[in-house]
Amino acid sequence: MRKDVRILLVGEPKVGKTSLIMSLVSEEFPEEVPLRAEEITIPADVTPEKVPTHIVDYSEAEQTEEQLHNEISKANVICIVYAVNSRNSIEKVTSRWIPLINDRTDKDSRMPLILVGNKSDLVEHSSMEAILPIMNQYTEIETCVECSAKNLKNISELFYYAQKAVLHPTGPLYCPEEKEMKPACVKALTRIFKISDQDNDGILNDAELNFFQRTCFNTPLAPQALEDVKNVVRKNMSDGVADNGLTLKGFLFLHTLFIQRGRHETTWTVLRRFGYDDDLELTHEYLFPILKIPPDCTTELNHHAYLFLQSIFDKHDLDRDCALSPDELKDLFKVFPYLPWGPDVNNTVCTNDKGWVTYQGYICQWTLTTYLDVQRCLEYLGYLGYSILREQESQAAAVTVTRDKKLDLQKKQTQRNVFQCNIIGMKNCGKTGILQGFLGRNLMKQRQIKEEHKSLYAINTTYVYGQEKYLLLHEVLSESEFITASDTTCDVVCLVYDVSNPKSFDYCTRIFKQHFIDGKTPCIIVAAKSDLHEAKQDHSISPAEFCNKHKMPPPQSYTCNSIGTPSKDFFVKVTTIAMYPLKDRVDEVGALLLANDEGSLVHQVHAVSFVEDSIFMESSGARSLHHEDRHTAQADLKTSTFWLRASLGATVFAVLGFAVYKALLKQR
C-alpha cells in the first residue's frame, strides 16, 4: 500500500474548492476565504487508513497552466469540484477538466477521479441525474459525492473516498462495462484460493475459511456468520457452495459482490496480505525478503521449512504413491507465474520407475535450490504462500544460514547438513556416470536420458554415522585445464580419470597442481569405469603413488555398469571427507575411511575411533532419521578411550536408525 496520498482539488472558480479544504481543517465554514488554500498534510494517525494525506488546492487566479499540469502529474487522485446550482460548472467537468487531466496523465496508469458536487445547501434537488451519464461514460470516475462546505455535510466522507480511491482503487479489480472482475484480479484471487485450500479438494471448508479470515482480518468468523456468507452465495449461484464449503466460483463471486457494493478495501486487504501491489503483481519485498549471508557461510532449509514442503507434497500427491506425476506437479505449480522445474530436474534427483520425482527427490531439489540460489528459493516459497500458511513475517524464516566454515574447523564440529562435491575430469572420463549413479541409475538407464535433459548437478542423501546428510555433486565442464574460481569452491573435489584411457589421469594431476595443491580443499582421485580393462596411465608415477606423494587417500574405483542399482558406499566416503576436512591429518583419516572399498560402516567407525583428535563426530543420538527432522545434536569426543566406547554404540544406533527410517518411509 502507498506510503502517502496526494489529493488535488480542481474545478471552475467560485465552486468552493478552498472552502471545502478549510471546512475540513477547522470544522467550521470560513467567513473569509482566500483565493487558494496552502497545501495541508493530515497525519496518518487521524486518517481511517493510517496513511499521511496531502491535500492540494488549485486557483486559476494565482496559478499558471504549467503549475496546474505539474500538480496533476504529482497527484494520486483528483477531485473535480462543481457547484450543484451551476449548470456551467457541471458542463465544464466533461468539456474541460476530464480531457485536460487525461491529456496530462500516462495512458497506462489510470488517474482516479472523484466528482464533488458542492453547495448542496443552496438547492433542494440532487445533481445526480446530470452526473450519472458522465460517470457511465468515464470509467476513471470512482464515485460522486454531494456535499456542503457551509453546513459541513459529507466533508470528511469526500476526503475518505478520495483516499480510498488511491489505496483501494477499483480500476485494477473491476470492469464496470462488463460488470465483472478483470482477468488479473481473477488470477490473483485464484492463487489465493489455491493456497488457502490446504487439503486441495477444491473447496474452502469452515476451518480453511476461518484461517483465511484470521490471516487477512485478524479475527475469526462466528459459525452463524460463516453460514450467512455461504447462504448469500447459495442464493446467487448454484455451484458456489459444495459439501458445505466455498468453491472457487463462490469465492470469486463474493469478491465481485464486495467490489460492486463499494467494499473494495475488503478485496484489497486480502490481495495485499498475500503479497500483491497496486498493479496486482507480487511485490519485490514479498518475494525477496532481506537475508544476510556472510562470506564462507551456506544456506539450508530449516526444520519448519521441510515440514511445510512435506505438507505441500502431501497436498498434491493425490494417489499417495510418494511421487508427483506430471499432472500433480503441474497442479502444484499453478500458484507460480511460470513452471520453475524443467525436465533436467528429473535427472538431478531421484525418480521412480516412471521417471516421476519421488518425495525424496522433491525434498532434495528444494535443498539444492536453497544451497545454490537462496534468492530463487525465497521466491518459490513466496509463490507457495510460506509466510502466510506458517504465520511468519517472511519466508526468510524458512532458511538457516550456517556458520563460517573456518569456525567449523576450529570447533571440530559442524551443524551443516548439505555438502558440495565438484566432479572434475577430462571429457568422457565418466563424470556424468558418477552423478547418475548417485541417483541409483546404472549405465543402461543412463543411456535412456536425452542429451538436452542432462543435468550438471545431482543431489541425494547419504548416511554418515547414522545421520542423514545431503551430498550435492556438481559436474565441472572444462575442455582445457582452465577452471574458474567458482569451480574450486566446494567442500571436497573428486578428480576423475578413465582407467581405460591412458591420457586421462595426467589431466587430473595438472588440475590438482594448478588449483588444489595448497590443500585447502580435500581431494579424492576416482578411477572411473573400473569395470573396463585398466590401461597404464601416461604419467611419471602411478595414481596410487601420486596419492601417496601428496598425502591423499588412495584412488577410489567406481563403475555404474552394474546389473542393479550402483553402490552408494563411495558417496558415503565422499560425504565423510566433506564433513571432516582436516588439513593436517587428512592422509591418516582419508586412508582409514577409504582404504576398503567394500568396508562396512562398522569397520569405518572402529578405524576412525583410533585416530585421536584427528576427526570429530556428531552425536548420532537424540535425532529422528525421518526427512521431517533436520535437528542434530553435537558432541566433541575428545579422548580415544571414549571413542572406543562410543564407536560400537554409534554403529548399533546407525543400523537400528536406518531400519526405523526404512519402516517410516514404507508407511508414507
Instruction: Read off the pLDDT of each residue in 107-133 and give the average, rounded to a whole number.
Output: 89
The yes-or-no verdict on residue 665 having pLDDT over 80 is: no
Query: Binning pLDDT at 50, 70 and 90, where does residue 582 land?
Result: low
Cβ proximity of 415 and 632 under 8 Å = yes
Amino acid occupying residue 363 = I
Phi, psi of 96 (to 5 degrees): -125, -55
- How far apart are alpha carbons 171 and 1 in whole angstroms? 15
Read off the pLDDT band of 275 (50, 70, 90). Answer: very high
Give the residue-averaged pLDDT of 316-339. Answer: 96
Using CA atoms of 326, 329, 334, 337 in order, give the dihedral in degrees to the nearest 10.
Answer: -90
Is the pLDDT at 657 greater than 50, yes or no? no
Write out pLDDT tens, residues 538-548. 999 999 999 99
Residues contacting residue 80 through CB under 8 Å, at least 6 positions apart? 10, 11, 93, 97, 98, 101, 113, 114, 115, 116
**Strand stretches in 535-667, DSSP E:** 556-558
Nearest to residue 381, comparing CAs of 284, 286, 277?
Answer: 286
Q: For residue 443, give the C-alpha cell.
A: 549405465
In the predicted model, what is the mean pLDDT of residues 615-627? 32
* Number of alpha carbons in the 13 Å side-chain half-sphere of residue 312: 26
Res 304: pLDDT: 97
* Beta bridge partners of residue 358, listed in sequence order: 323
Q: Is the pLDDT of residue 474 over 60?
A: yes
The contacts of residue 15 (CB under 8 Å, 6+ apart) are 81, 82, 83, 86, 89, 118, 119
DSSP reduced 3-state for 77: strand
pLDDT of residue 329: 97
Cβ atoms within 10 Å, residue 320? 8
Residue whose C-alpha cell reads 497496486 in the numeric block: 278
Q: What is the mean pLDDT of the chain?
A: 86
Main-chain phi, psi angles of 250, to 5 degrees:
-65, -40
Q: Which residue in 269, 293, 454 sits closest to 377, CA to CA?
A: 293
Q: How many CB atoms lie within 10 A of CB 504?
A: 26
C-alpha cell recorded at residue 88 = 456551467
**Residue 480 — very low, low, confident or very high, per pLDDT cuts 50/70/90?**
low
CA-CA distance, 25 to 488, in Å (whole number)? 67
pLDDT at 342 over 50: yes
* Coil/strand/helix, residue 362: helix
Q: Which grid cell is 20?
A: 471545502
**Long-range pairs, 204-208, Cβ under 8 A, ≥24:** 204/245, 204/246, 204/251, 205/243, 205/244, 205/245, 206/244, 206/245, 208/245
Q: Is the pLDDT of residue 592 over 60?
A: no
- 438's enclosing H/E stretch is helix 431-438
Condensed to tens digits (0 to 9), the pLDDT of residues 152-186 reads 999 999 999 999 999 998 889 998 878 899 999 99
What predicted TM-score, i.e. pTM, was given to this entire model? 0.83
- 167: its cell numbers: 489505496
- H, E, C per residue of 507-536: HHHHHHHHHHCCCCCCEEEEEECCCCCCCC
Q: Does residue 66 have a pLDDT over 50?
A: yes
Res 663: pLDDT: 46
The pLDDT of residue 634: 31
Evaluate whether 618 touches 467 at the Cβ level (below 8 Å).
yes
Residue for grid cell 446467487: 236
- For the segment 603-615, what is each residue's pLDDT rounded down to a tens digit? 333 333 323 233 3
Query: Cell numbers of 36, please?
Result: 487558494
* 3-state SS track over 108-164: CCCCCEEEEEECHHHCCCCCHHHHHHHHHHCCCEEEEEECECCCCECHHHHHHHHHH
pLDDT at 1: 64
CA distance 634 to 579: 13
Which residue, 27, 277, 1, 28, is CA-closest to 163?
A: 1
How far apart CA 421 and CA 576 sit, in angstroms, is 11
CA-CA distance, 377 to 379, in Å (whole number)?
Answer: 5
Of 300, 336, 333, the C-alpha closest to 315 is: 333
